[in-house]
Amino acid sequence: MSANDSSIPILYIDETLLVINKPAGLPTLPDGFDPAAPYVRSLLEPHFGRLWIVHRLDRGTSGVLLLARSAEAHRALNSQFDQRQVSKVYHALVTGSPAWDSKTVDLPLRADVGHKHRTVVDPARGKPALTHLRVLERFSAFALVEAAPETGRTHQIRVHLAALGHPLVADALYGSLAAEASQPVLHRLGLHARQLTIEHPRLRSVLHFEAPYPEDFIRAFEIVAASPQIW
């Protein structure tokens, strides 16, 4: 599936919500440099009508993305995110093998810094940012880490992992894209939005969504398992 394909995997749909498994490479919002390029709403609205973006995923991140199908649902869901009533779980493929099995990172972050618009750790001027981490699987030179952010700062997971010395695979902004000895591990950011739990804004029932790994993520696991030293 490409960003030009309208058959984006649908995880859930009713008259209030639309939940998709966003492909990597597809931006959530219009590209400021290329407004005509495909993005989530431009591909979905011809099929499902007016949609409201509730939260965002980076272009290079795949996984669970929630959209509202009415302004009322949008307001209710935004309130859940603002009040931290939503549970988000990401799976991150990182470089190196963490010395810890689980860790909570509490490092304030300041966004949009410098000409690259990076997010940086800034104890003095940063906003509170909290991420819970757990190692799911270890490889020779890589690890699969579960990240559950309590806050929603820009690039929060990427920056917190980089601050610990374990940047995401293929993260040119916060990691090191050293020359690879063989085939690349992944051609995009090593981050997948795995799970999302919300309260249905109309029914008030708890809904849990899980996005299967895309093919490139599965291939990356096979590569890192078979190749002790890639980077």
Q: Structure tokens of 134?
A: 């757990």
Q: Of 14, 31, 58, 112, which residue is the catalytic one?
A: 58
Helix (H) or strand (E) holding 215, with range, is helix 215-226
Q: How far apart are CA 69 and CA 45, in angstroms?
A: 10
DSSP string of 55-85, one letter each residue = S---TT-EEEEEEESSHHHHHHHHHHHHTT-
The Cα-based distances of 208 to 101, 104, 132, 161, 190 in angstroms read 25, 23, 19, 26, 23
The Cα-based distances of 102 to 6, 154, 157 in angstroms read 39, 22, 14
Is 58 catalytic? The answer is yes
**Amino acid identity, position 127:** K
Residues with a known catalytic role: 58
